[in-house]
């Protein structure tokens, strides 16, 4: 796991918390914790992975189309 670090400047804790939450979300930690909370059947795992791959392909195609 990589280290996530946030610096608090001028005692602005609220801003630091927002930055930390965004970094954690971008890293995918919340998603991994949510998935580990309950058991996922192998068929559900395959279905979820297929949906995620399809979503990534749609996003990549949309990016390619815009350029």
Q: Which two tokens stand for residue 16?
A: 């630091």
φ/ψ of 58, rounded to 5, equals: -60, -45
Per-residue pLDDT reduced to its tens digit, 25-55: 988 888 888 899 999 999 999 999 999 999 9
Q: How confident is the model at residue 61 (pLDDT cuts 50, 70, 90)?
A: very high
Query: What are the residue boundaries of the structural domains of the chain, listed by start?
Result: 13-66
Per-residue pLDDT reduced to its tens digit, 12-28: 999 999 999 999 998 88
Q: Name the residue among 31, 35, 8, 33 with its Cα closest to residue 20.
A: 8
Task: Say if pTM beats, i.e. exceeds, 0.75.
Answer: no
Distance CA 28, CA 21 (A): 11
Question: Within the chain, where are the H helices?
Answer: 13-27, 29-37, 42-66
Can you tell me which residue has the tokens 């395959």?
A: 46
């Amino acid at each position: 796991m990589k280290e996530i670090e946030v610096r608090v400047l001028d005692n602005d804790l609220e801003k630091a918390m927002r930055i930390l939450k965004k970094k954690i979300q971008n890293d995918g930690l919340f998603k991994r914790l949510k998935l580990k909370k309950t058991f996922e059947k192998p068929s559900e795992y395959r279905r979820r992975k297929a949906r995620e791959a399809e979503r990534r392909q749609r996003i990549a195609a949309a990016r390619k189309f815009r350029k």
